[in-house]
Amino acid sequence: MCEVVDRVRIALNRELQHSVGLTLAENLVLCQVAMAPGRRLRMVDIAGHLTIGKSAVTKTVDRLEERGLITRERDPADRRTVYAALTAEGARLFTTAQPAFAGAVRRYFASHLSEAEIRQLAGLPGRLLEQAPAASGPSR
């Protein structure tokens, strides 16, 4: 299963870089921020949603910020809290990237499965997680 995930991630990454100039990680961060209320999300929440380390989020947001797609905002009530906020250019690129991302997911993954297999696959993680011990947070 890990090999399948790795191959699909590599294919998605290549496709996104070629079609819209984003890495898969950058697209996933943009997606989290774009879907958040007010189009901004705490950096720690991005890490939690994507189950990646805070340093990986910081490096990815650094690249997105350099390109003018994300800005960092401090919480005036708690200066330790940093938000990633979507810029107008980030929103435009996110809108452009999603059809490319969805097409790549179909091409490299979903088109090889029946509707019944997709439904079954979608239900498996929940069943498996019910049995697994709870994690204390991202281990990466």
Concatenate the DSSP letters of all residues of 38-79 into one string.
Answer: GGEEEHHHHHHHHT--HHHHHHHHHHHHHTTSEEEEEETTEE
Does residue 137 lie within any of the structural domains?
no
pLDDT digits (tens, 9 = 90+) for 82-121: 999 999 999 999 999 999 999 999 998 889 989 999 888 8
Q: Is residue 136 part of a domain?
A: no
Q: How confident is the model at residue 132 (pLDDT cuts 50, 70, 90)?
A: confident
Query: What's the domain range around 60?
Result: 2-131
The answer to the question of residue 52 being in a domain is: yes
In a domain, 7, yes or no: yes
pLDDT of residue 76: 85
pLDDT per position as a tens digit, 24-73: 999 999 999 999 999 999 999 999 999 999 999 999 999 999 999 999 99
In a domain, 139, yes or no: no
- Alpha-carbon distance of 41 to 29, in angstroms, equals 10
Domain tally, the chain: 1
Query: What is the DSSP secondary-structure string of 70-109?
Result: EEEEEETTEEEEEEEEE-HHHHHHHHHHHHHHHHHHHHHT
Which CATH number does the domain housing residue 116 bear? 1.10.10.10
Q: Classify residue 48: in a domain, yes or no.
A: yes
Helix axis angle, 24-35 relative to 43-50, nearest 10°? Answer: 120
In a domain, 140, yes or no: no
Residue 42 lies in a domain: yes
Provide the whole-model pTM: 0.83
